[in-house]
Structures are given as C-alpha cells and as structure tokens.
Amino acid sequence: KFLATTNPADLATADAILICVPTPLTESRDPDLSYVTSTVQAIAKILRPGQLIVLESTTYPGTTTEFVRPILEETGLRAGTDFHLAFSPERVDPGNAKWNVRNTPKVVGGLTPQCTELAKTLLLSLMDDASLVRTVESPDVAEMAKLLENTYRAVNIALVNELAQLCHEMGIDVWSVIDAAATKPFGFQAFYPGIGPGGHCIPVDPFYLAWKAREYDFQTRFIELAADINDQMAAYVISRMQDVLNERSISLRGANILCLGAAFKSGVSDVRNSRAIHVMELLRERGAVV
C-alpha cells in the first residue's frame, strides 16, 4: 500500500498527512521556514474536511498554531473543527541500530483534545508498544520539548569541549576524566569533545529557540554561549594541528593532510552542517594540501 510520488495532488487521497521537511537557518541564523511554507501551501490546495495534518519538522514554539494554521485556514476550513492539526517532533538518531521509528517514544500535542487523540491514534499504529506515545496539552509544548532535547545536547557538548581545552592546558587526559566521571550511576551523562556538532539538529535548533526568545525581549545567553563554544572548536582543532606540525618543524602551509570522513557523524552519509567539511575548508584556507 506504499506509493512514492512527486505529485502533491496525490495527497488528496490521504486521511492523515505528516510534514517532515528541512528547517535550516538563513545566513543571519534566523529560522528558514521556506520548506514548511511551500509544503503547507501545497496541502492547502487539497485540504478537505476530516483530514489530520501533523507537523514533524523541528521548529520554534508557535509554528503550528501561528504559522501553519493560518495558511491552512485560508481555505475557509477551520482547524480543530473542519480538519485536525497537531505537532509531533521527529525523533531519529542516524546510524543508531537500537532506536528506530517503532521503538523510540513519541510526543504529540494537538490544537484541540480531539486533534491530540487522533494524532495519538495514528502514531500508535506505527509503534511497538502503546506506552510509547506521550500526549501534551498543546503543539507549543511539543515544539518546545524538541528544542529542549537538542539544546540539552548542544549545551553539554559545549561544556565538555571547553573542559577539553582546559585539560589540555593543564596536561590532563580529558578522556580519562570523562571515563572516571561516568562511573557515577546517577546525575551524570557522558558527553565527549570534538570538532563541534553537525547535522540538521544540534547546530540549528538552539538558534530557533534564541530567535523566538527575542520576540519576548528575552536573551538566551547560556544557549548562545554554548553555540559559540561549539562553533569555534573547528578553529581550535586547526590550532592544535599547527602545534603538532610545529613540533616536527613542518609548516601547515603546503603540508599534506589526509582527512578521513566527511559526514557529520560516523556511520551515516549525511553531510549537512558537517564540521568535518568545515575543518577541511579551514585547512585549505591556511594553505594545506587536503
């Protein structure tokens, strides 16, 4: 019963439509909702009473109700009355063989209790267990929950990246430090240093939250500082490489540097926001032969 199509008109036959399109950043690090816009506009052309629309793309709180809903209601149909609207964030860990679509818990919040219940029913049909779908009181809560998940990771990655730099200055093996701390069975989760997080979530989502916070005259200082620390890790790695080469009386300019792997993490082929590629770019800017 699976049909792959590039014709938006085919959506008219669907009772439920799940939207999962990219939500990148603009050059000024503002949310780019152009993919969501074009998709919702295409759905509006075929929208009919009784359909369920579920947004899954990671975005700022309010997107479902303040952005998606008005576009769909331009048809004259009313959300929560004529059609149903909900948000349920995509949860995928690329390259992870243990956690997949069927066993990873889902969160869903609908515009109305009925919207929530219908979206929950749909999601339960995909899951291995009925306990894996958690409902919340609104799309805003579900949207914020997704941003919290990824911002939590971004902040902790920044913490361990900064600690790695300090440990280097102090002559302490940061890997041994993390392994020792990880023996604590409560209150600690191990994160590991690197060239900064890549992919379509961790480098992007904190900026969606920071952008929305400015609407309320609120500055997410802690979150933006973490993003800055992670951003500068690629340059830090280059400086460390220069130090290693200098110890061998080799200049980075003209040096042959072999880079293995261009994806944003091991075991995947996705190069979106790959820090590995950024490192290669920095090496070439400094005259290295990559």
Residue given tokens 């220069």 in the structure block: 242
Query: Which among 20, 115, 201, 259 is annotated as catalytic?
Result: 201
Instruction: Based on the residue annotation, tell me whether 201 is a catalytic residue of this protein.
Output: yes
Handedness of CA 78, 81, 83, 84 (dihedral sign): positive
| Cβ-contact 60, 23 below 8 angstroms | no
Burial track 237-275 (b if 16+ CB lie within 10 A, e otherwise): bbeebbeebeeeeeebeebeeeeeeebbbeeeeeeebbb
**Angle, alpha carbons 259-261-263 (nearest 5°):** 135
CA distance 274 to 195: 10
Catalytic residues: 201
